[in-house]
Amino acid sequence: MDLREGEQVLKVYHHHPTPFVFKMMRMVVGFLPFFFLLYMAKDSFSTKGFVITHLVLFLIFALICAYKSIIYWMDILVITSERIIYVNWTGLSSRSECEAFLSDIEEIKTREKGFMSKFYIFDYGEFRLETAASSVSIDYNEAPDPEGIRKFVYHIKPQ
């Protein structure tokens, strides 16, 4: 993502933390049966083998959590004085970038779930931006305060 001459970054948005916490909780629940099975089979291991097996399983769990964390937190929505840029990381070495000029924006749709979105902890949802070219559309899921992002974009958008 390179800025053009005279372009300034106004805001940078990362994913909201609450969906990430839910994803990590699902991963913990997914790994618990493996630890439980190891515990149930502890009599068939020597003490050293039992500890090493647990360490290996924990290392695998930690690496998967670290990978998911890095991918989740590297996704950004950048709003500049001229464009909106969405950088979506799909792997440690692969990403896709979408950009839309503020003057080309046709429609912005946001979606939040329920009345609980009035509280910060649940104030996340989908931010969808479409341009006049209709070939460019930015879908930013798990956006923090999507309605606030929409208001900010309309505030800085040239009329």
The token pair at 32 is: 């618990």
Question: Do residues 102 and 124 both lie within one domain?
Answer: yes
Q: How many domains does the chain have?
A: 2
Question: Do residues 141 and 100 both lie within one domain?
Answer: yes
Domain's final residue, options 49, 71, 93: 71
Question: Do residues 66 and 90 both lie within one domain?
Answer: no
Per-residue model confidence as pLDDT tens digits over 78-135: 999 999 999 999 888 898 888 888 888 888 999 887 677 677 778 888 999 988 876 7
Q: What per-residue confidence (pLDDT) applies to 134? A: 66
Question: Do residues 89 and 120 both lie within one domain?
Answer: yes
Residue 32 in domain: yes
Residue 99 in domain: yes
Residue 126 to residue 106: CA distance in whole angstroms: 17
Residue 108 pairs in a beta bridge with 129
Angle made by CA atoms 109, 112, 118, in degrees to the nearest 5: 125
The token pair at 84 is: 């909106």
Can you give the residue range of the structural domain that contains 82?
A: 9-15+76-156
The token pair at 137 is: 């559309």
Residue 133 in domain: yes
Global pTM exceeds 0.85: no
In this predicted structure, the answer to whether residue 139 has a pLDDT above a threshold of 70 is yes
Question: Do residues 92 and 128 both lie within one domain?
Answer: yes
Residue 140 in domain: yes
Q: Is residue 113 within 8 Å of residue 107, measured between CB atoms?
A: no
Residue 89 to residue 120: CA distance in whole angstroms: 25
Per-residue model confidence as pLDDT tens digits over 21-52: 999 999 999 999 998 998 888 888 888 988 99
In this predicted structure, the answer to whether residue 136 has a pLDDT above a threshold of 80 is no
Residue 1 in domain: no
